Amino acid sequence: MRKALAFSVFALLLGGCASDPAKYDISGTWINQAAIDAAVKKGSLREALETYGPNLEWSIDTRNGQARYSNGFERPEGHVRADGKQWHVDFYGSAGTALARDGKELIQSASDSEPEQPFVRAETQLPANAPVGASFEQALYAAYMGGDWKISSGPGEGGQVKFLPDGRLEGLPGADRYALCLAGDCASMSGENDSIWLQQGNKGAAWIFVRKGKQLEIFQALNSAQPDDQPQLNPGPRQWLLEK
């Protein structure tokens, strides 16, 4: 009887130890939902990304020791290793990043160069070959640009427009693809303005947009920089007013 009881207690302890890795494992795709929610609520994408960024998505495979993240421009790859109940990601030439599970959230610890950031699991599973950052983009596009828009003013007035999560665009004259500017050169060129890339076939251009509630204004992007300088885009004449 004592042997059976001792075996049961030992098995229970083993079971508890075996469950710990699952409790603290961080494998999977995690996105910056706070930035998406702020953009939807306040309208300004640039402000939301500056407040809740800089990182937008983590893609982690603890079994193979691989970790990648996207800040909308860069996609560094590092090695992830267990560090007690936390995980540490080492990147070549940097001090690395600490990550940990907090319930349903992944917490990126604050460092000298970046603030603490929370992430949640991506709800939509994309193909294995999708680039890191694509899950955040699709979630952002669905929440921020999704729904039915009517052209209240501009070419195609009265028509219906749909911005699809995968970057396809329906109903806007002269464009069948779009991409929101998240970071990098496009952000530097547009300054405090939000910008969007509209494309049809192989031809495209940057536009400035302002989203307020159920209204979306799209302006021509005028370059105020000198010919040899980096472009500085500012809103010109309004091309479209869209309303939900």
Q: Domains of the chain: which residue ranges?
A: 26-121, 146-243
- Encode burial over 105-139: b for 16+ CB neighbours within 10 A, e otherwise: ebbbeeeeeeeebebeebeeeeeeeeebbbbbbbb
**Chain segment 100-139, per-residue pLDDT in tens:** 999 999 999 998 888 999 999 999 889 988 999 999 999 9
176 sits in which H/E element: none
pTM for this prediction: 0.89
Q: What is the pLDDT of residue 5?
A: 45
Q: Which two tokens stand for residue 96?
A: 């690395």
203 sits in which H/E element: strand 203-212
Query: What angle separates helix 45-52 from helix 33-42, to the nearest 10 degrees?
Result: 150
Does the pLDDT at position 15 exceed 50?
no
**Chain segment 36-93, per-residue pLDDT in tens:** 999 999 999 999 999 999 999 999 999 999 999 999 999 999 999 998 889 999 998 7
Given pLDDT bands bounded at 50, 70 and 90, which one contains residue 96? confident
166 sits in which H/E element: none
Residue-wise DSSP of 78-103: EEEEEETTEEEEE-TTS--EEEEEET
**Chain segment 174-204, per-residue pLDDT in tens:** 999 999 999 999 999 999 999 999 999 999 9
* Identity of residue 228: D
Does the pLDDT at position 94 exceed 80?
no
Q: Mean pLDDT score of the chain, rounded to an integer? A: 91
Q: What is the pLDDT of residue 29?
A: 97
Across residues 153-176, what is the average pLDDT?
98
Across residues 224-232, what is the average pLDDT?
89
